[in-house]
Amino acid sequence: MLLNITKLYGMTLAASDCDIGKVRDFYFDDKHWTIRYLVADTGEWLKGRLVLISPYAFGEFDAEGRSLSINLTRRQIETCPGIDSHLPVSRQYEVDYTRHYGWPTYWDGGGVWGVSGFPSIEPMPEVDTEPRQKHQQGDGKHLRSVRAITGYHIQTIDGAIGHVTGILVDDRSWAIRELIVEAGAWYSGKEILISHAKIDRISYEESAVHVRLTKADIERTAEHELARSH
């Protein structure tokens, strides 16, 4: 099922023994277009510390009660390696993080999640997580904030057309499928969907998402995309 991940902001995070906070943001991999971490706001409990939760730990959604179960204990989260409250996240940190929880590394193997196409913690072939060289802080520059790119304008080949209002994600693989874009006055303020496959690059300096489409390309497909539920 596809869901607009920005609708999860503020949802309660229910660990196996108690609630541990709320959803604040998500970090995605802008190379493979996949959500890698949920960013938790833990209130006064771990104030001043960034808490990341991998989709490996995601349990059931309670849409009515607006909660997401997390298959971890409060103690496991509290003793997870600490991290600064800003990007980038270093690859060395990610190695320490996965070792702490005993999870496979998503960057080793041919699948979106290493040796698999989705975040599974079922027995898998052993993966060597020992770093082969010293990892620098910049190794995590592929991780980006969903909240940060919301509002970025869409730059087509022949001009800007609007801005990002949401992101559609597959709730099994956590792969990003499409951006939800408010087209602005150019298209009567309607929302359209743009596949991640059409994205050329994200310019963080320009606060823009550059796409390999013209305005005419988008017009030809917009009515079909508008008919789809999100």
pLDDT of residue 133: 39
pLDDT confidence of 139, banded at 50, 70, 90? low
User: What are the chain's domains?
Assistant: 8-144 (3.90.50.10), 150-226 (2.30.30.240)
Task: Give me the sign of the Cα torsion angle 53, 54, 59, 61.
Answer: positive
pLDDT confidence of 99, banded at 50, 70, 90? very high
Q: Give the integer Cα–Cα distance in Å for 160 and 215.
A: 9
The closest of 72, 73, 69 to 61, measured between CA atoms, is 69
Higher pLDDT, 18 or 50: 18
pLDDT tens for 48-84 read 788 999 999 999 988 888 999 999 999 999 999 887 6
pLDDT of residue 88: 77
pLDDT of residue 103: 94
pLDDT of residue 89: 87
The whole-number average pLDDT for the span 143-155 is 94
pLDDT of residue 134: 40
Lowest mean pLDDT among 42-51, 120-129, 185-194: 120-129
pLDDT of residue 131: 40
Share of the chain above pLDDT 90, in %: 60
pLDDT of residue 109: 82
Helices (H) and strands (E) in the chain, counts: 4, 14
pLDDT of residue 14: 96
Q: Average pLDDT over the chain, rounded to whole?
A: 85
